[in-house]
Chains A and B, each alone.
Chain A
Amino acid sequence: MNNFFFKVLRSGISTTYQDDGRFGMQHYGVPAGGCMDKEFFTLANALIKNNIKEGVVEFAYQGPLIEFIKGKTKIAIIGNVIFKIIYKNNITIEGECNRTYNISEGDKIDILATKDSVYGYLAVEGGFNLKPFFNSVSTLAQARIGPNEGKKIKADDKIILNKNRNEEKNFSIDVKFNNSNTIRVLKGEQYQYFMEESHKNFFSSSYNITNLTDRMGMRLKGPAIKNIINTNIRSEGIIRGAIQIPGDGQPIILLTDHPTIGGYPKIAYVISADYDLLVQKKPGTNISFKCIELDEAEKLYKDKKDKISKIIKNIKEIN
């Protein structure tokens, strides 16, 4: 192991190593997990010219304060994030997201807050030195699976890098923010379990994102969805983006670290193209749902993929 590392001076609220996810283990009870916002994850690695699936540090709300102890590296913070770089010579700058910075021994990065969003990402050139478990360095904190003994990053931890900096030039990427509060969905398998009036409410009212929201799920509050058949179904496999309605009628959207099996009927599923948009919505936000058809959802996903490719093609050197 080399000696290039950051020391964690403050951990932040929920700071973890994540990557694309851990696949093929859900029949053992392990959800795919991985970065909440896959678009930002992809852009972070593209900007810093890493392998596109390299692990990154994900933070939520308040991020970590870290000091680079040894070596030199290049970092990028992707998202809508307020942060500072405190150089060793005590010059402090307001950091700009979505560009790279060269960092040396003694420099500190203070990630203060995500702005109008929840998740941000820190990537370093060459990636972090992490031991994969089933081909992934994603942390599933509730089951203690993944690097760092499956735990969130805490104060005094070392964040160890794979290598020293090679590339001296810096680059920027033009990340576009989508501010829409409308989440598009496909009807769920148990759509008919709910009253017609509730169907109408579900698509015409807004739902408030409550504080009971984390990497596992998002609890909403709004007009109750009334079940006319059965508030429980036989437990079945879950996929992320499922909107389930428990007995109290208040929707729960299952997110990236969801339980793998569940027994509540699902009214709808968030389309893949809008998933990243959804997870970036802060508690307190009012969102609404729009029903679309499968072929449209597939097209929207393809459009999103094309948009990401275009953003990556337009990465520019900073002069």
Chain B
Amino acid sequence: MLKKLNNIGDSGIVCDFGNEVNQTVNEEVIKLFNFVQKQISLGKLDGILNCIPSYNKLIINFDLKIINSKKIFNFINSVDFAKLNLNQAQKEWTIPICYDLEMDLTNMSKELKIDKNEIIKNHSETVFFIYMVGFVPGHPFMGDLDPKMFLDRLKTPRVKVPEGAVGIVEKFCNIYPYESPGGWNIIGRTPIKLFNSKNETHPCLLSPGDIVKFKPITKKEFNNFNNE
């Protein structure tokens, strides 16, 4: 349920759905996000630059030349939340993952006191929901992991995490779209490209609200993946 509306600066508003981070709250955010996107595409809401869903908030960034906070507050207040649907275009993805690359799996096994194979089985059988995409292009924040898999961030973040690395922290799982610094526990790596700026219609593979399952592949399959 929408808890409050605030302006952020003079060219943004935030729709706040409360402090909980769970799928139910996030689905409310994504329903509103889809609705606003739809109204923009129908030409019913002008001047919107970006809509940014996160765990529990939707931020709308607008062009102050065209519209202002008050008009967007009125628009949001006129929404019949009971009638909003979750994305009909919600997609399910199967992402190949190679667990056999010795990143953090051994340490995770020690820390969690769970056998490596059990960790792999648990992770690959989890059905992930994408809460949001961002920080850098194509980067998904997914959940929820089994509580017995919860880990804190690495004490010393890595200077370089390779492209495609799959990380976990607390109940969340992510995939690094680019080589970058990072503090998540790396469980494996996918050969899939999450953001392709050469693709002019669908450069970003995953969208907020999509479902992701991981499918284990061997080291050989991982290495050959992009050559096939």
Contacts and interface: CB of A to CB of B under 8 A. Distances in A.
Interface of A: 21, 23-30, 32, 133-134, 140, 142-146, 150, 186, 188-189, 234-239, 241-242, 259-262, 266, 269-272, 294, 297-298, 301, 305
A28 B138 contact: yes
A26 B8 contact: no
B59 A242 contact: no
Contacts, number: 148
B147 interface: no
Nearest to B137: A29
A27 B9 contact: no
B21 to A, nearest CB: 6
B65 interface: yes
B139 interface: yes
Interface stretch (B47-55, B105-113, B114-122, B185-193): B47-55
Contact of A237 (B7, B53, B138, B195): B53
Given A133-B200, A189-B14, A260-B52, A29 B133 contact: yes
Nearest to B60: A237
B51 A259 contact: no
Give the top 7 A-B pairs by smallest Cβ distance, nearest first: A237-B52, A269-B9, A237-B59, A26-B50, A28-B204, A260-B134, A29-B134
Contacts of A28: 133-134, 137-138, 195, 203-204, 207
B132 interface: yes
Interface of B: 6-12, 14, 19, 21, 33, 40, 49-59, 61, 64-65, 68-69, 132-139, 141, 177-178, 195, 197, 200, 203-204, 207-208
A239 B10 contact: no
Given A150-B197, A260-B134, A261-B132, A237 B54 contact: yes
A23 B134 CA distance: 14
A25 B139 contact: no
Contact of B10 (A259, A260, A261, A297): A297
A243 to B, nearest CB: 10
B57 A237 contact: yes
B64 A298 contact: yes
B8 A189 contact: yes
Given A259-B135, A259-B136, A235 B55 contact: yes
Contacts of B65: 301, 305
A237 B59 CA distance: 6
Given A30-B137, A188-B8, A272-B10, A236 B195 contact: no
A188 B12 CA distance: 11
Nearest to B61: A239
